[in-house]
């Protein structure tokens, strides 16, 4: 467990047994999260896993059925207003006022919280290539999202909570966004962002928590996760392949051989695999694709679900 | 099966509204018949012929006819036409505003096909609702022992159907041609309300009769279908008009660019677009409309308040005075002879005096209605509206408490209630001064104050429902339904001893109950209404504080 290494850091977000039921329907159950100050924490899970429910609960939009949470040491319900002075937030499925311009929107929220440096807003708009003079209702999804991003960053909050913040943003802007996130972390501020794709968070996050079916399955450092991250690997060889050769390598699963074509799931050391293969065969072609989060779950966590989370 | 989808989806989107309307109108009919049964209807036969035709009562009036006429001819018809209007304006323009039209038209179906599916759903819904309204009439009458066999009930319901289809298609056509739901709703509502009232009071004036024939509503009940049966000519006009509207809709919808979720350009935007004016406005107002929640809320509803206030001031205020002065002496004398019970039935004003006239025409229904309209729309939109549009998420991420959000939504609602009340006061005062009717300005102010308060009661109810449920539909239907119920309860209460004892239950009895236009301010009444509003607003704070915010609309 890598998470207890730095016990001196204060918790930016801490939840204890956080549980939310919507009537009989489970939202989240017994979520124990500890996000440290100054880190970038990725909150990963497939659609409907409970990411937004967790975020909305700690933001006091909805109230937990059981458990409690603190943000920056403050109780998320009792000190909700004080907490909001220190956070920036992008809700999932962002909605803004369609009849306001981007600038109007920012001014509206700036007036409510104060402490906004307008030069910084201009800089952010510049970096994200956002036209703030247009009405939000006339903007495309991505351009609307930019207004949401600026709104969350503009007052330099101590903690940024972002629910799938890059949805709709093009790759260039996504990269700029990731830079902005890294800068926030470099200043010692905290970022908590949710996503359903690992690749999106692994570039910026220090650690990730994985949630599935309302339960926090694991919290790991990105480097640990990457080492076990599953890939789909395909080889086209110069000779007929033997299953046993591939199964001898650690981390190889589900080998399917068809003549000189072989496919497998792989979650080990890529160098070792390549060495083993090239020792025996000539490689005509190689293709690897990142396994999606769901596959990582299936491979590493599914079997453990009955006995509790693995970490 | 796009047809099944578009058609069935459109028809089922609003089933709740229709069900509520049908159940309410049926209940009103039950209450009406039960009440009219208690009163001596022989008074009607002694009425002058001219007056009877004016209020749409035939020679052989009976309990059933009166009840059906009042309930279906007014409440039922307005409710039905109003729902048809709502459905018609959302059909095309509403889907464009929601941004769902794009995906609908991505299916291999033509615009005409979508439009016809929507029209089919609209007409079918109205037809089903008409049948659902018609079915309970006989059991209700039978259960109360009221004889209705001599009445042309089917003729009236058929007229009701044609009228509702006309207004539904009017809204649909405006929406299809312009893509602007606001325009579709606004213009159709204006035509509906003005023609409803025009048909009601234009005949009082010399030559007014002829003018009513240009109003669509005239072809609904101008021929008194419940007595005289179906007027095929009138039905043909409504039907022909509907077909023309449909054709206009098809042509207009096919020829124009689809709108995205774009919000269009308002007059304010055009003014701001001019650099000189913009600088001027900026200097005057700063960035006022986004400087706080309450100012933004004020700005969001300014056009609603502007239109409502203008209508109250000009039509219901200023114009009513000269109109009263223009009513022939003889007609006024007729009013004087009316039995008290009958007067009560029409809202309780003695039409032979200007106070009675204003009580009936302006303050009876329209004035509280205008305040209720504004406050209910604002009360429902305040919290539930932000929730259904999901903008509440960012608002709640700001360092302000939920209580403050409620407070900043309540202030504009109260302020605008006062504005509508004040312009009504100003309009009526000016209207009474032009022909010098000799009304007490102080009493007008008292009445307008009570009007504001009674409106606020229902706006506060909408706010409480909005805060408690997060659903605009519950807030709007709940509070408007309550307002209609209590209004009817109040007017019927005057006729029915049993109900009269319960009169204290309806907020409206604290409004005109002590005839403030003649007697001046009744502070007790004002206190009761204010207390009710305060309790409901207080409840809103508690309910909103405790609740989970909804994520979806």
**Alpha carbon of A289 to those of A99, A201, A203, A230, B550: distances in Å?**
43, 17, 17, 9, 38
User: Average pLDDT of B175-182?
Assistant: 90
- CA gap B171, B401 in Å, rounded: 40
Subunit contact B399:A84, Cβ cutoff 8 A: yes
Minimal-distance CA residue of chain B relative to A20: B548
- The three-class DSSP label of residue B258 is coil
Enumerate residues 293 to 322 of chain B having a beta carbon within 8 A of any beta carbon in chain A.
293, 296
User: Average pLDDT of A234-257?
Assistant: 88
Of B391, B393, B401, the CB nearest to A97: B391
- CA gap B55, B65 in Å, rounded: 12
Percent over 90 (pLDDT), chain B: 39
User: Average pLDDT of B537-545?
Assistant: 96
pLDDT confidence of residue A306: 42
Query: What phi-psi label fits residue B229: left (phi over 0), alpha (psi between -120 and 50 degrees) or beta?
Result: left
User: Average pLDDT of B213-224?
Assistant: 88
A112 vs B378 pLDDT, higher one:
B378
pLDDT confidence of residue B468: 94
Subunit contact A81:B291, Cβ cutoff 8 A: no
pLDDT confidence of residue B409: 95
Q: Does the pLDDT of residue B45 top 70, yes or no?
A: no
- CA gap B93, B110 in Å, rounded: 16
Of B260, B291, B396, the CB nearest to A111: B291
pLDDT confidence of residue A242: 87
Q: Does the pLDDT of residue A250 top 90, yes or no?
A: no
Contacts 24+ apart (CB under 8 A), B17-21: B17/B83, B17/B86, B17/B473, B17/B477, B18/B83, B18/B125, B18/B128, B18/B129, B18/B132, B20/B477, B20/B481, B21/B79, B21/B80, B21/B83, B21/B129
Candidates B266, B289, B290, partner chain A, best to mutate (most A CBs within 10 A): B290
Contacts of A260 (CB under 8 A, 6+ apart): A236, A237, A238, A239, A240, A241, A284
pLDDT confidence of residue B260: 64
Q: What is the pLDDT of residues A55-101, one digit of tens each?
A: 999 999 899 999 999 999 999 999 989 999 999 999 988 889 888 88
Q: Provide the pLDDT confidence category of residue A111 given band limits of 50, 70 and 90.
A: confident
Candidates B278, B296, B399, partner chain A, best to mutate (most A CBs within 10 A): B399
pLDDT confidence of residue A304: 47
Enumerate residues 118 to 147 of chain A having a beta carbon within 8 A of any beta carbon in chain B.
135, 137-138
Span of A46-60, A273-287, B66-80, B469-483 with lowest mean pLDDT: B66-80
- The three-class DSSP label of residue A195 is strand
Q: What is the pLDDT of residues A164-205, one digit of tens each?
A: 999 889 999 999 999 999 999 999 999 999 988 777 788 889
Minimal-distance CA residue of chain B relative to A148: B394
Chain A contact for B292, CB < 8 A? yes
**Alpha carbon of A168 to those of A148, B148, B199, B266: distances in Å?**
12, 64, 54, 28
Q: Does the pLDDT of residue B284 top 80, yes or no?
A: no
Subunit contact B393:A89, Cβ cutoff 8 A: yes
Enumerate residues 56 to 75 of chain A having a beta carbon within 8 A of any beta carbon in chain B.
56, 59-63
Chain B contact for A113, CB < 8 A? yes
pLDDT confidence of residue A67: 95
pLDDT confidence of residue B479: 93
- Cβ-based contacts of A151 with chain B (< 8 Å): 394
User: Average pLDDT of B277-283?
Assistant: 60
Please, are residues A293 and A196 in contact by the beta-carbon 8 Å criterion? yes
- CA gap A276, A274 in Å, rounded: 5
Of A61, A91, A107, the CB nearest to B287: A107
Tokens (6 digits) for A1:
């467990």
Tokens (6 digits) for A41:
């924490």
User: Average pLDDT of B373-385?
Assistant: 93
B85 vs B25 pLDDT, higher one:
B85
pLDDT confidence of residue B164: 96
Tokens (6 digits) for B406:
């409620």
User: Average pLDDT of B224-252?
Assistant: 93
Of A61, A100, A107, the CB nearest to B396: A61
Q: Provide the pLDDT confidence category of residue A289 given band limits of 50, 70 and 90.
A: confident
pLDDT confidence of residue B465: 96
Element containing residue A270 per DSSP (H, E): helix A270-280
Q: Does the pLDDT of residue B262 top 60, yes or no?
A: no
Please, are residues A90 and A149 in contact by the beta-carbon 8 Å criterion? yes
Span of B68-77, B102-111, B338-347 with lowest mean pLDDT: B338-347
Tokens (6 digits) for B19:
């069900």
pLDDT confidence of residue B410: 96
- Cβ-based contacts of A91 with chain B (< 8 Å): 390, 393-394, 397
- The three-class DSSP label of residue A29 is strand
pLDDT confidence of residue B477: 86
B151 vs B162 pLDDT, higher one:
B162
Alpha-carbon gap: A120 to the closest alpha carbon of chain B (Å): 19
Subunit contact A98:B287, Cβ cutoff 8 A: no
Percent over 90 (pLDDT), chain A: 54
Of B263, B293, B394, the CB nearest to A98: B263
- Cβ-based contacts of B389 with chain A (< 8 Å): 95
Subunit contact B290:A105, Cβ cutoff 8 A: yes
Span of A15-29, A235-249, B103-117, B407-421 with lowest mean pLDDT: B103-117
Of A80, A109, A138, the CB nearest to B394: A109
Subunit contact B390:A97, Cβ cutoff 8 A: no
Q: Does the pLDDT of residue B346 top 90, yes or no?
A: no
pLDDT confidence of residue B327: 76
Subunit contact A88:B287, Cβ cutoff 8 A: no
Candidates B391, B398, B406, partner chain A, best to mutate (most A CBs within 10 A): B398
User: Average pLDDT of B387-413?
Assistant: 93
A293 vs B459 pLDDT, higher one:
B459
SS3 per-residue string spanning B447-465 = HHHHHHHHHHHHHHHHHHH
Closest among B547, B553, B540, B405 to B471, alpha carbons compared: B553
- CA gap A82, A71 in Å, rounded: 10
Answer yes or no: is the ipTM higher than 0.95. no
Alpha-carbon gap: A67 to the closest alpha carbon of chain B (Å): 16
Query: What phi-psi label fits residue A72: left (phi over 0), alpha (psi between -120 and 50 degrees) or beta?
Result: left
Burial bucket for residue A145 (CB in 10 Å: 0-12, 13-18, 19+): buried
User: Residue B341's Cα: distance from chain center in Å?
Assistant: 26
User: Average pLDDT of A302-307?
Assistant: 47
Subunit contact A108:B296, Cβ cutoff 8 A: yes
pLDDT confidence of residue A2: 39
pLDDT confidence of residue A291: 66
Minimal-distance CA residue of chain A relative to B396: A61
- The angle at the Cα of B405, spanning B403 to B407, to the nearest 5 degrees, equals 70
- CA gap B168, B178 in Å, rounded: 16
Residue B519, Cβ neighbours under 10 Å: how many? 13
Span of B159-173, B298-312, B523-537 with lowest mean pLDDT: B298-312
pLDDT confidence of residue B54: 52
B226 vs A127 pLDDT, higher one:
A127
Transcribe B416-441 into DSSP letters. HHHHHHHHHHHHHHHHHHTTT----H
pLDDT confidence of residue A106: 93
Alpha-carbon gap: B475 to the closest alpha carbon of chain A (Å): 20
Q: Does the pLDDT of residue B178 top 70, yes or no?
A: yes
Q: Does the pLDDT of residue A6 top 50, yes or no?
A: no
pLDDT confidence of residue A102: 92
Subunit contact A137:B261, Cβ cutoff 8 A: yes
Tokens (6 digits) for B522:
């009744």
Chain A contact for B548, CB < 8 A? yes
User: Average pLDDT of B295-318?
Assistant: 87
Q: Provide the pLDDT confidence category of residue A5 given band limits of 50, 70 and 90.
A: very low
Residues B225/B229/B235/B236 CA torsion (nearest 10 deg):
-150
Q: Average pLDDT over chain A, rounded to whole?
A: 86
Transcribe B27-95 into DSSP letters. HHHHHHHHHHTTS-THHHHTS-HHHHHHTT--TT--HHHHHHHHIIIIIIHHHHHHHHHHHHHIIIIIH
Q: Provide the pLDDT confidence category of residue A13 given band limits of 50, 70 and 90.
A: very high
pLDDT confidence of residue A311: 32
- CA gap B156, B161 in Å, rounded: 9
Enumerate residues 391 to 410 of chain B having a beta carbon within 8 A of any beta carbon in chain A.
391, 393-401
Q: Does the pLDDT of residue A309 top 60, yes or no?
A: no
pLDDT confidence of residue B337: 64
- Cβ-based contacts of A137 with chain B (< 8 Å): 261-263
User: Average pLDDT of A214-239?
Assistant: 84
pLDDT confidence of residue A310: 33
Q: Provide the pLDDT confidence category of residue A253 given band limits of 50, 70 and 90.
A: confident
Measure the N-to-C terminal CA separation of chain A; round to a whole number of Å: 6
pLDDT confidence of residue B494: 63
Subunit contact A107:B399, Cβ cutoff 8 A: no
- Cβ-based contacts of A84 with chain B (< 8 Å): 396-400
Span of A22-31, A140-149, A248-257 with lowest mean pLDDT: A248-257
């Amino acid at each position: 467990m890598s998470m207890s290494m730095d016990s001196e850091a204060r918790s930016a977000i801490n939840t204890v047994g956080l549980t939310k039921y919507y009537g009989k329907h489970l939202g989240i159950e017994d979520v124990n999260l500890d996000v440290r100050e100054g880190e970038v924490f990725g909150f990963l899970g497939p659609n409907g896993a409970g990411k937004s429910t967790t975020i909305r609960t700690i933001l006091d939009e909805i109230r937990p059925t059981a458990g409690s949470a603190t943000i920056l040491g403050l109780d998320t319900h009792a000190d909700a207003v004080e907490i909001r002075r220190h956070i920036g937030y992008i809700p999932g499925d962002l909605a803004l006022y369609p009849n306001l311009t981007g600038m109007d929107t920012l001014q509206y929220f700036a007036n409510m919280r104060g402490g906004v440096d307008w030069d910084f807003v201009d800089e952010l708009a510049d970096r994200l290539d956002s036209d703030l003079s247009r009405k939000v209702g006339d903007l495309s999804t991505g351009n609307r999202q930019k207004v949401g991003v600026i709104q969350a960053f503009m007052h330099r909050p101590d903690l940024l909570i972002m629910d799938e913040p890059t949805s709709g943003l093009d790759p260039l802007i996504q990269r700029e966004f990731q830079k902005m996130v890294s800068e926030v972390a470099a200043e010692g501020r905290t970022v908590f962002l949710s996503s359903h794709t690992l690749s999106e968070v692994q570039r910026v996050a220090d650690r990730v928590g994985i949630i599935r079916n309302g339960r926090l399955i694991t919290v790991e450092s990105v480097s640990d996760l990457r080492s076990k991250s599953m890939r789909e690997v395909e080889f086209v060889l110069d000779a007929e392949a033997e299953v046993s050769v591939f199964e001898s390598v650690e981390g190889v699963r589900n080998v399917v051989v068809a003549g000189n074509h072989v496919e497998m799931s792989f979650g080990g050391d890529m160098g070792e695999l390549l060495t083993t293969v090239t020792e025996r065969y000539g490689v005509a072609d190689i293709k690897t694709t990142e396994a999606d989060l769901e596959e990582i779950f299936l491979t590493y966590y599914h079997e453990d679900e009955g006995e509790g989370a693995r970490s | 099966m796009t047809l099944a989808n578009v058609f069935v989806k459109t028809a089922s989107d609003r089933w709740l509204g229709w069900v509520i309307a049908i159940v309410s109108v049926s209940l009103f009919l039950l209450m009406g018949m039960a009440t009219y049964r208690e009163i001596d209807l022989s008074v009607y036969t002694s009425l002058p012929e001219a007056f009877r035709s004016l209020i749409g009562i035939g020679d052989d009036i009976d309990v059933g006819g009166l009840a059906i006429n009042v309930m279906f001819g007014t409440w039922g018809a307005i409710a039905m036409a109003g729902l048809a209007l709502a459905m018609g304006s959302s059909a095309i323009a509403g889907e464009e505003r929601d941004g769902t039209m794009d995906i609908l038209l991505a299916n291999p179906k033509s615009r005409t096909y979508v439009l016809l599916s929507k029209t089919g759903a609209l007409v079918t819904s109205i037809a089903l609702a008409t049948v659902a309204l018609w079915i309970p009439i006989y059991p209700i009458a039978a259960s109360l022992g009221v004889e209705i066999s001599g009445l042309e009930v089917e003729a009236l319901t058929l007229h009701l159907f044609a009228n509702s289809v006309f207004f539904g298609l009017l809204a649909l056509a405006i929406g299809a041609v312009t893509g602007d739901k606001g325009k579709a709703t606004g213009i159709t509502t204006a035509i509906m309300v003005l023609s409803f009232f025009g048909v009601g009071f234009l005949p009082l004036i010399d030559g007014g009769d002829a003018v009513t024939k240009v109003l669509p509503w005239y072809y609904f009940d101008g021929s008194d279908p419940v007595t005289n049966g179906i007027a095929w000519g009138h039905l043909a006009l409504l039907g022909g008009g509907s077909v023309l509207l449909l054709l206009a809709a098809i042509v207009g919808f096919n020829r124009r660019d689809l709108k995205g979720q774009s919000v269009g350009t308002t007059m304010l935007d055009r003014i701001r677009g001019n650099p000189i004016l913009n600088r001027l406005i900026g200097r005057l107002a700063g960035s006022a409309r986004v400087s706080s929640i309450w100012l933004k809320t004020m700005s969001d509803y300014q056009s609603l308040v502007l239109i409502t206030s203008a209508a109250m001031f000009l039509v219901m205020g200023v114009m009513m005075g000269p109109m009263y002065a223009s009513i022939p002496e003889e007609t006024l004398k007729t009013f004087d002879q009316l039995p008290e019970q009958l007067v009560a039935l029409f809202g309780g004003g003695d039409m032979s005096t200007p106070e009675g006239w204003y009580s009936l025409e302006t303050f009876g229904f329209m004035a509280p209605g205008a305040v209720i309209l504004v406050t209910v729309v604002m009360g429902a939109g305040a919290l539930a509206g932000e929730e259904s549009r999901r903008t509440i998420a960012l608002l709640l991420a700001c360092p302000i408490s939920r209580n403050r959000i409620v407070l900043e939504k309540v202030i504009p609602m109260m302020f605008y209630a006062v504005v509508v009340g004040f312009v009504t006061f100003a309009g009526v005062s000016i209207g009474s001064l032009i022909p010098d009717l000799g009304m007490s300005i102080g009493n007008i102010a008292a009445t307008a104050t009570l009007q504001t308060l009674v409106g606020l009661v229902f706006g506060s109810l909408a706010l409480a429902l909005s805060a408690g449920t997060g659903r605009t539909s519950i807030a709007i239907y709940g509070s408007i339904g309550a307002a209609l119920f209590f209004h009817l309860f109040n007017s019927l209460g005057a006729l029915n001893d049993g109900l009269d004892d319960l009169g204290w239950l309806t907020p409206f009895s604290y409004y005109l109950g002590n005839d403030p236009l003649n007697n001046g301010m009744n502070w007790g009444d004002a206190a009761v209404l204010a207390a009710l509003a305060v309790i409901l607003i207080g409840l809103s704070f508690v309910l909103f504080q405790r609740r989970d915010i909804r994520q979806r609309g």
